[in-house]
Structures are given as structure tokens and as C-alpha cells.
Amino acid sequence: MVLDYKIRVFTALVFFTVLGTAWVRQPVQKKRNLKVLPQDISDEMLDSIMHSFNKALGVECNFCHVPAKGFKDSLDYASDDEPMKEEARKMMTMVIDINKKYFWYDKKQRPEYLKTVTCMHCHRGEPYPEVNH
Ligand code: HEC
Ligand code: HEC
């Protein structure tokens, strides 16, 4: 009887330990700090859009993203401390509006991902594009 009780307690302990570990190890998907792009954006799409910004403006990621505190050579992408990031958000909103309002698009597509007009159309590798008179 005593042995049976011990086995049950032991089984219960193992059970709850496994359950607890599984709970803790749930992948914690950190919420992204996105105000213009969709929250459910894939990593690949986000990466491709960010690289298109580098190319269009002729800059590196640190043009809009501040260095991560305490980590050499890495950036804190979620931080809004670099004011240029907010400027870029305005530009993104403008481009999405242009594509949505003034051009035909397949309504199954996300307006945020349209490429009829892109940053490159104006910037052409310059952060501050000017008109060539
Ligand atoms: C021209 C400015 C600009 C450049 C250059 C840029 N980014 Fe961004 N990035 C932004 C903006 C703006 C957002 C936030 C978008 C939003 O609010 O929807 C963002 C968001 C991100 C995020 C999401 C962070 C989070 O909240 O989880 C990642 C990751 C990121 N950028 C990576 C990069 C990488 C990598 C590069 C270089 C290849 C890069 N960015 C270059 C402007 C820029
Ligand atoms: C319709 C043309 C046009 C498009 C499209 C465009 N930009 Fe710009 N952008 C400009 C001009 C012009 C300037 C320079 C403004 C100035 O000199 O004051 C500029 C400046 C900027 C700046 C510098 C900050 C500022 O506000 O002056 C950033 C960052 C920027 N653009 C990001 C982007 C990104 C990212 C995209 C694509 C999502 C984009 N732009 C698309 C015309 C455009």
C-alpha cells in the first residue's frame, strides 16, 4: 500500500515536471514593434523589405536602427530611438497609400507588399533624392 502510494506520488511528480517543462519551453514569439507592416509578417518578407530599403537608399541597416546596448556589432531593430526610423515609417505609409489609391491591384494582395511604386523609384540609391535639372 505504502509502495503503491509512493509510486503514485512519483508518477504525479514526473507528470507535472514534464508538463511544466513543456509549458516553459513553448516558443515565446516576441511581439514585434510594427506600426506600418502587418504584425503577422513572415521573417522572410520582413528581411526582404528591409534589404530593399538599404538598396533603394544606398545605406546600411544602422541608418534607421540604433546599436544594441551591450552587444558589439549588433542592432536593436525593435527600438525606435533612431529618429530616421519614424521618418521611414512616414515614407512607407506614403508608398502604401500611393499603390493602394492610385494604381490597380489584386485585392487578394496585401497593400503593404505592393511594388508598383517603390522606394527605389524616387531614391535610386540616395537617402536624400534630388531632381537632376
Ligand atoms: C530606411 C530605414 C530602414 C532601414 C535602412 C532598415 N530598416 Fe528595419 N525597420 C525600419 C522601420 C521603419 C521598421 C518598423 C516598421 C513598422 O513600424 O511597421 C523596421 C523594422 C525592422 C525589424 C522589426 C523589428 C521588431 O520590431 O521586431 C527588423 C528585424 C528590421 N527592421 C531589420 C532591418 C535590417 C536587418 C536592416 C538592414 C538589412 C534594416 N532593418 C534596415 C526601417 C529601416
Ligand atoms: C515619391 C518619391 C519618394 C518615394 C516613393 C520614397 N521617398 Fe523617401 N524621400 C523622398 C524625398 C524627395 C526625400 C528627401 C526629402 C528632403 O530632402 O527633405 C526623401 C527622404 C527620405 C528619408 C530621409 C528622411 C526624411 O524624411 O527626409 C528616408 C528615411 C526615406 N526617404 C525613406 C524612404 C523609404 C523607406 C521609402 C520606401 C518605403 C521611400 N523613402 C520612398 C521621396 C520619396
pLDDT tens for 81-121 read: 999 999 999 999 999 999 999 999 999 999 999 999 999 99
Residue burial 47-78, b: 16+ Cβ < 10 Å; e: rest: eebeeebeebbebeeeebbbeeeeeeeebeee
Give me the pLDDT at residue 11, please: 74
Q: Are the C-beta atoms of 96 and 114 separated by less than 8 Å? A: yes
Give me the pLDDT at residue 23, please: 62
In this predicted model, what pLDDT tens digit does every residue of 10-63 receive, in sequence order? Answer: 777 777 776 666 666 656 667 999 999 999 999 999 999 999 999 999 999 999
Ligand 2, atom 30, lies closest to the CA of 88
- Please name which ligand lies nearest the alpha carbon of 84: 2
- Please name which ligand lies nearest the alpha carbon of 87: 2
How far is Cα of residue 44 from the mean position of the Cα atoms in its chain?
A: 9
Give me the pLDDT at residue 28, please: 66
Give me the pLDDT at residue 128, please: 97
Pocket around ligand 2: residues whose beta carbon is below 6 Å from it?
A: 53, 57, 84, 87-88, 91-92, 95, 117, 119, 121-123, 127-129
Give me the pLDDT at residue 21, please: 65
- Please name which ligand lies nearest the alpha carbon of 51: 1
Atom of ligand 1 nearest to the CA of 92: 12
Ligand 1, atom 40, lies closest to the CA of 50
Give me the pLDDT at residue 133, please: 64
